[in-house]
Amino acid sequence: MTTTYADSTTPGTHTIRPGAFGNATELRCRECGATSPLGAHYACFECFGPLEVGYDFPQVTREQIAAGPHNIWRYRELLPVPADVASFPNTEPGLTRLVRADRLAADLDLARLWVKDDSGNPTHSFKDRVVAVALTAARELGFQVLACPSTGNLANAVAAAAARAGIRSVVMVPHNLEQQKILTTAVYGGTLVAVEGNYDDVNRLASEIAGEEETWAFVNVNVRPYYAEGSKTLGYEIAEQLGWRLPEQIVVPIASGAQLVKIDKGIRELVELGLVEDAPYRIYGAQATGCSPVSAAFHAGNDVVAPVKPDTLAKSLAIGNPADGPYVLDVVRRTGGSVEDVSDEEVVDGIARLARTEGIFGETAGGVTVATLAKLVRSGKLDPAAETVIINSGDGLKTLDAIAGRVGPKATIRPTYEAFTEAGLA
Amino acid sequence: MSVKVRIPTILRTYTDGSSEVKADGGTLAEVLASLDANYPGIRARLLDDSGKLRRFVNVYVGEEDVRFAGGLDTPTPEGTQVSVIPAVAGGAR
């Protein structure tokens, strides 16, 4: 099948094919509720509020979903994608493993714990989910280039998805990003630009360029409403993998906050569609103290999130002005959870704890999540008897710097049995 | 003092499609007033009913987010670049 993108028509004039966005019907402002037709819009024309996809869902059964592809397209009827989405090259992320984490649970005195391990996606983070949906929207809207500002994981996902789709990618990252994330983006051959600034600076630049380059789809800027929907699949999968039921507690790392908010949206959709039984659940947010504007707002009782200048080794979470921060506060307060933050030292301990108890090497965001889980247990804010799921959103191989110098060989010896015994290793 | 203001796509209906326009004023508040005199209605899109910057609008004076500077009182020296950007994204990682 050919995968040519729309011709040189600009997105504004490109004709959208019937069913291009599946059961999605409109874009809706999350602030004022104003609606607009599906298209390449991301900010409300009335109040600048962020737009979200609205749907008219058909009746979907568990059997239909189970019969679908072994990736996120099994939920295509709940996403803004066409019915034939699986026939276009994409990275086909999703259905990552939900690991029963008994040893970590025992370490923390928890009854039942699972790790949703999204390091198993094609470029080893949850970002493949959102990019797969964004790439589909970009194709249907006639964009020619896939682009993004990123702290690394998104850069990997965009560069890989564009390579597979045969289109150009332009990815902008902070210049001081982890070397692993630079290389694992550059290898896919797109245009990688290092920007002298932090993520918020890069984000600002991308937003300005998005206003000028009409044929570029910045996945997390001008096609953000579609992109963000990809994170709902984390919520769907957790429920499906638990046997179509909801966990009682979920701990999610916060960067922009969109992942947490969309997991909640996904869960509520499953309840509305009768795919899972309605049951109370609590969602908790995890941040690193060096970039914890949402945690600060939560503890201060504020509805707005005051931006900060990040300073943490958890660079993938280092967004000082998180776009979905206020919505994270809404979700966490509505479900009875909380937002906590942990020190860089605790983050490294969290990485080691997950690796040494479960054999899962998470990146710094995973370390933040495990450390926050431990803090929630200590403080009594999380019920140790309730079923808990935590998200490991990316692979530790991408953030080796975080543990370099803290782990290493027990000994360096000559290649003799004598040396082995002398070193006390037997 | 004359400054340059970058206008996001969403507000270019006010500026006849121009992506950058000139305005006058020694503070951001004065710049917005000058902008509104030339392009009536544009200020009301940027400020809420209580006169504060809307929650989902970012304004930069030079490279500085005005939330880290003086908000609407942020000085706008001669020749400064003011940028108005919808506050989306943040979806790093």
Which amino acid, one-letter code, is at A82?
Answer: P
| Preferred mutation among A46, A48, A177 to probe B, highest tally of B CBs within 10 A | A48
Identify the pLDDT of residue A76: 98
Identify the pLDDT of residue A2: 34
pLDDT tens profile A319-372: 998 989 999 999 999 999 999 999 999 999 999 999 999 999 999 999 999 999
Asked if A201 and B60 come within 8 Å (Cβ–Cβ), the reply is no
Into how many domains does chain B fold?
Answer: 1
Domain containing residue B54:
2-86
Identify the pLDDT of residue A258: 95
Asked if B88 and A221 come within 8 Å (Cβ–Cβ), the reply is yes
* Token duo for residue A386: 């309730």
Whether B83 contacts chain A with CB within 8 A: yes
Asked if A203 and B92 come within 8 Å (Cβ–Cβ), the reply is yes
CATH number at residue B53: 3.10.20.30
Contact residues, B window 11-50, toward A, CB-based 8 Å cutoff: 19, 45
Fold for A126-224, please state it. Rossmann fold (3.40.50)
Identify the pLDDT of residue B54: 87
Asked if B88 and A152 come within 8 Å (Cβ–Cβ), the reply is no
Chain A partners within 8 Å of B83 (Cβ): 204, 208
Contact (CB, 8 A) for A151 and B92: yes
- Smallest Cβ–Cβ distance between A31 and the set B56, B90, B93 belongs to B56
Judge whether B93 lies within some domain.
Answer: no
Whether B60 contacts chain A with CB within 8 A: yes
Identify the pLDDT of residue B67: 84
Contact (CB, 8 A) for A230 and A53: no
Whether B86 contacts chain A with CB within 8 A: yes
Overall average pLDDT of the B3-29 stretch: 93
Name the residue of chain B whose CA is nearest to A29's CA: B56
pLDDT tens profile B31-88: 999 999 999 999 999 998 899 998 888 899 998 889 888 899 999 999 999 999 887 6
Identify the pLDDT of residue B9: 86
Chain A partners within 8 Å of B57 (Cβ): 48
Judge whether B37 lies within some domain.
Answer: yes
Contact (CB, 8 A) for B11 and B32: no
C-alpha triplet A98, A99, A101: angle, nearest 5°: 140
Judge whether B49 lies within some domain.
Answer: yes
Is the pLDDT confidence value at B90 over 50? Answer: no
High-pLDDT (> 90) share of chain A, %: 87
Q: pLDDT (tens digit, 0 to 9) for every residue of chain A, 426 residues total? A: 333 344 334 455 678 899 999 999 999 999 889 999 999 888 888 888 899 999 999 999 999 999 999 999 999 999 999 999 999 999 999 999 999 999 999 999 999 999 999 999 999 999 999 999 999 999 999 999 999 999 899 999 999 999 999 999 999 999 998 899 999 999 999 999 999 998 888 988 998 898 889 899 999 999 999 999 999 999 999 999 999 999 999 999 999 999 999 999 999 999 999 999 999 999 999 999 999 999 999 999 999 898 899 999 999 999 998 989 999 999 999 999 999 999 999 999 999 999 999 999 999 999 999 999 999 999 999 999 999 999 999 999 999 999 998 999 999 999 999 999 999 998
Contacts of A185 (CB under 8 A, 6+ apart): A150, A152, A155, A156, A159, A171, A173, A192
B23, burial (CB in 10 Å: exposed 0-12, middle 13-18, buried 19+): buried
Identify the pLDDT of residue A47: 85
A213 — alpha (psi -120 to 50), left (phi > 0) or beta? beta
- Maximum Cα interatomic distance, chain A, rounded to a whole number of Å: 77
Identify the pLDDT of residue B7: 93
Chain A partners within 8 Å of B86 (Cβ): 42-43, 48, 207
Asked if A323 and B54 come within 8 Å (Cβ–Cβ), the reply is no
A76, burial (CB in 10 Å: exposed 0-12, middle 13-18, buried 19+): buried
Let me know if domain A98-124+229-403 sits in CATH 3.10.400.10: no
Summary mean pLDDT of chain A: 94
- Smallest Cβ–Cβ distance between A307 and the set B56, B65, B85 belongs to B65
- Smallest Cβ–Cβ distance between A204 and the set B56, B60, B68 belongs to B60
Q: Cα–Cα distance between A327 and A336 in angstroms, integer?
A: 14
Judge whether B10 lies within some domain.
Answer: yes
Asked whether the domain spanning A126-224 has the same topology as the one spanning A98-124+229-403, the reply is: yes
> How near does any CA of chain A get to the CA of B45, in Å?
7
Whether B69 contacts chain A with CB within 8 A: no
Q: Cα–Cα distance between A104 and A392 in angstroms, integer?
A: 13
Contact (CB, 8 A) for A347 and A340: no
- Smallest Cβ–Cβ distance between A319 and the set B56, B67, B90 belongs to B90
For A406-409, the CB contacts below 8 A with 24+ separation are A406/A348, A406/A352, A407/A352
Closest CA to A265 of A337, A322, A316, A335: A335
Identify the pLDDT of residue A13: 62
Give residue limits of the domains in chain A.
98-124+229-403, 126-224
